[in-house]
Amino acid sequence: MQQRNLRNLTVSAIGLGCMGFSHGYGATPTEEESIRLIRKAYDDFGCTLFDTAEVYANYENEILVGKALRPIRDKVILCTKFMPEKFLPGQEIPEGKTSRRGLRNALEASLKRLQTDYVDLYYEHRVPQGKDVGEVAEWMGELISEGKIRAWGVSEATPAQIRRAHTVTPLSAVQSEYSLMERRVEAEVLPLCKELSIGFVAYSPMASGFLSGKYSSADTFTGDDVRRVITRFDKKNIDANQPLLDLLHAYAKDKGATPAQISLAWMLHKYDNIVPIPGMRRDERMTENFGAVDVTLTDTEMQKLEEELSHIAIHGDRKDSDIQKLGTVETVATH
């Protein structure tokens, strides 16, 4: 596997988003199968970046990832996140979670669930409105100096928050949604990360699977599946976004690849500080997605692709507020 740098951390060019093993995308694999797949990502494909969070299925995902990675803990980069303004069971303290004690308590509990004594990359999952991210940056710096974490990051932060945080304790990564269907970070966030030598971790790089081309307006989503509320999966939007899939299929045919691989290759070619973390819960998806590192787009092909993309309108998006109402990704699990 090719490697990239998230400032001071060297990681595989494509990582593994582990949330889907516990919830968020319909029926989940068994624990045994999930552990097998997580280990397969490392053993067979050289993936070294694994991403989880305390809120994924109310701690269950961290426990699962900890079990899977324990035998290879010293060979991988383990990332988790704390949600600053959401109390999960056992986190209620007088100072509030966005405090030095609250942050430390959250980390110590994550370390136990992950069966490790340090986290390689610890994120503030969201930056609360009206809060000074510089305070969290200071506390993260203390944890780094103690060896509890090796690096820290922020998720879905604004350019001003990124700059403020980085000034206090240098950020190693910013994690936000980024894909061919969601490109808002290209305006300011990605240039700023490049300027400050901060890595960028792209979650939902396949637009929750839409860019695989495997869904149609006939598909339905139930239970805690986030695609129930991601509007790009509305039946009318699936049909309206067909021109994008047609374009990806055309490039895939020319390159002997798949639409998913073209989507990831586009991202990897565009920025050398980006590491996408698609979710993969089947052997064939791992082979396909990790195989994207071997799909090369020339500068001429990229220029042509960008020109063609500029004429395609994207219908639908993904809103945190809608997903929170569903009660999945950043609230509770229903499985």
Q: Which residue has the tokens 């305390």?
A: 54
Radius of gyration of the chain from its Cα atoms, rounded to whole angstroms: 19
pLDDT at 331: 41
In terms of Cα–Cα distance, which of 126, 140, 216 is closest to 172? Answer: 140
Output the CA–CA distances (angstroms, integers) from residue 332 to 26, 70, 109, 114, 335, in the order listed.
14, 25, 18, 19, 9
- The rounded average pLDDT for each run of 10 residues, N- to C-terminus, in the chain (335 residues) is 96 97 83 98 98 93 98 98 84 82 94 98 92 94 98 96 97 96 95 98 91 70 66 81 93 95 96 96 95 95 95 77 45 33
Going by C-beta distance under 8 Å and a sequence separation of 6 or more, which residues neighbour residue 148? 107, 111, 117, 118, 119
pLDDT at 279: 94
pLDDT at 13: 98
Question: 57 near 85, Cβ under 8 Å?
Answer: no
Question: 212 near 185, Cβ under 8 Å?
Answer: no
CA angle 284, 290, 296 (to 5 degrees): 120
pLDDT at 319: 57
Given 25, 42, 56, 122, the catalytic residue? 56
Q: Where are the alpha helices (DSSP H) in the chain?
A: 31-45, 60-69, 100-114, 133-145, 159-168, 189-196, 235-240, 242-255, 259-270, 283-290, 299-309, 320-326
Strands (E), 169-218: 173-177, 199-203
Whether CATH 3.20.20.210 fits 3-212+260-295: no
| Cβ atoms < 10 Å from Cβ of 321 | 7
**Is 122 annotated in the active site?**
no
